[in-house]
Amino acid sequence: MFPVLSATLILLLVGTLLTFVAGERARWVALVTSFAFLGLAAVLLYDFSGFAVAHGIELFVYPETYTWISLPWMHIDYAVGVDGISLVLILLTAFLQLATVIYSWNESKKPGAWFGLVLLTCLGCFGVFVALDVLLFFLFWEAVLVPMFFIIGYWGGPRRRYAALKFFIYTHVASIVMLVGLLVLVFYSGSTSFDFQSLQATAGELAVTAQVFVFLALFFGFGVKFPIVPFHTWLPDAHVEAPTGGSVLLAGLLLKLGGYGLIRWAVQLLPGAIPHVQWLLYAVAFASIIWGSVVSLAQRDLKRLVAFSSINHMGIVLLAIALYSSLGLLAAVLLMFAHGIVSALLFMTAGTVHHSTGSRDISKLGGMTPRTPVLATTIMIGSLASLGLPALISFPAEFIALQATWVGIGYWVLVPLIALVVTAGFYIWMMQRMLFGPPRGLPEKVDDVPRHEGMAMGILVALTVVYGLLPFLLVNLIVSSPVVGIPFP
């Protein structure tokens, strides 16, 4: 059996190391690595369900376990494996890594370090999605933090130091609380193993109070990454200051770590706690949904607008998870994929708007459509996708999420539905001000989309349309995998 997951990890690790020392050729190394990653992801997809059947595996496919640390009182493995949920997010990682590398092809400020850090971020995310051991998971989780800190802190805007520090402190504090939760889970469950599957077998025996405590600690830890209101204020600052590539990875991948972690390490391990904390999850989800969309309406910086819309969308993800139904989980994963693609696309357009006009201020720009038709069209596609236009990627995900919400909690579905109107409002209003009307605030010479940036956006637009028209490609992947604890549909 070819250890394809370890091979991918090694590929990304080697690629990262080579990139750091490759100097001017770093971009080519990064590109080759990205394509190889995509190729290995395709290998993972190919015969994914067939593999499970052939090997009689019930939970995680492509499993690998090697003993790492073995002591009388604790046993830590290098354990990896994937199911449908992680596979969808791995696919997202591969797509976004490729798109980011192409988008920032002409990065001139320390290109070796830049591409190396981009690859390292994606390596960390991939690790999080495949790790099945508490410590291994935590290692990758923290490994994501460091490159992103430097990406914001070195390549960022004027207030980059503040933003990078804020990002680091917020997510790090959250990580510590999460670690406490995970360690309590391990040690109190009476098991010496840090392995996901053995934890799953023992976690249910904990007293309910303990389960609730651990769940809340994990929820806080993962929630800050979502981010949930009121622990979200690091996100707009980080996005505004981050370079475009950083924003793409931040919105496209890092936020998904929170959603993935919550599903894998909280919901699947501690289903007993859910009835006791569900009201809190709903409350936080509704707060994020409403707050994200309403505050977006007041934003003037395009990047801040997309950042707050991310809070809204991730709120819907949280809502779908909180429903604790198979339909909800399916929707949560689809939504994360959709939001990963669409928010990455929108952050790319924001970056290009900044390059070509020197500003991202919605209230100062106007009438861009005739001057930069390609860019304007891309912004329109991204906005329409984000507000849930059918035939584009977000619609099937939102449809299933809200259908599941209706089935789960009835008329409360009106909260996200009304937020959908507000979401449409701030996108449509942004388009009216920035793209339509008489030209305003544009310099004499405005460049339309440069070639590499256009290629990167083209990839994401294509994904938006393809998965919007053929959502079953993703759905079949998720439902064909045995999802722990919750039968589909």
Candidates 7-15, 91-99, 191-199, 412-420 — which segment interacts with other proteins by CB under 8 A? 412-420
CA pair distance 456, 317, nearest whole angstrom: 26
Report the alpha-carbon distance of residue 65 to residue 6 in Å, rounded.
10
CB contact at 8 A, 481 and 48: yes
Q: Which is nearer to other proteins, 77 or 301 (CB)?
A: 301
State yes or no: residue 212 binds other proteins (CB under 8 A): no
The nearer residue to other proteins, 428 or 466, going by C-beta atoms, is 428
Shortest approach of other proteins to residue 88 CB, angstroms? Answer: 14
The reply to whether 352 sits near other proteins by the rule CB under 8 A is no
Pairwise CA distance, residues 12 & 181, whole Å: 30
Q: What mask, x for binding other proteins by CB under 8 A, covers residues 359 to 398?
A: --------x-xx-------------x----xxx---xx--
Residues in contact with 126: Cβ distance below 8 Å, sequence separation at least 6, in sequence order = 8, 9, 12, 37, 90, 93, 140
Dihedral of alpha carbons 309, 325, 475, 87, sign: positive
User: Contact between 421 and other proteins (CB under 8 A)?
Assistant: yes
Report how far residue 395's alpha carbon sits from residue 334's, in angstroms, rounded to the nearest whole number.
10
Closest approach, Cβ 111 to other proteins, in A, equals 34
Q: Indicate which single residue of 418, 447, 462, 466 sits in contact with other proteins (rule: CB under 8 A).
A: 418
- Residue of 329, 402, 461, 463 that binds other proteins (CB under 8 A): 402
Binding track over 138-177 against other proteins, x by CB under 8 A: ----------------------------------------
Q: By CB under 8 A, name the one of 209, 279, 443, 447 that touches other proteins.
A: 209
The answer to whether the CB of 54 falls within 8 A of the CB of 70 is no
Residue 250 CA to residue 103 CA, distance in Å, equals 15
DSSP H helix total and E strand total for the chain: 21, 2
Select the residue interacting with other proteins from 272, 278, 479, 485 (CB under 8 A).
479
User: With binding defined as CB under 8 A, does residue 295 bind other proteins?
Assistant: yes
Q: Are strands 61-70 and 75-82 parallel, antiparallel or unpaired?
A: antiparallel
d(CA 83, CA 484): 9
Based on the shown chain and the rule CB under 8 A, indicate whether residue 233 belongs to the binding site for other proteins.
yes
Task: Count CA within 13 A, CB hemisphere, residue 160.
Answer: 16
The binding site for other proteins (CB under 8 A) comprises 188, 206-207, 209-210, 229-230, 232-233, 291, 294-299, 325-327, 330, 367, 369-370, 384, 389-391, 395-396, 399-400, 402-404, 406-407, 413-414, 417-418, 420-422, 424-425, 428-429, 431-432, 435-438, 471-472, 475, 479, 487-489
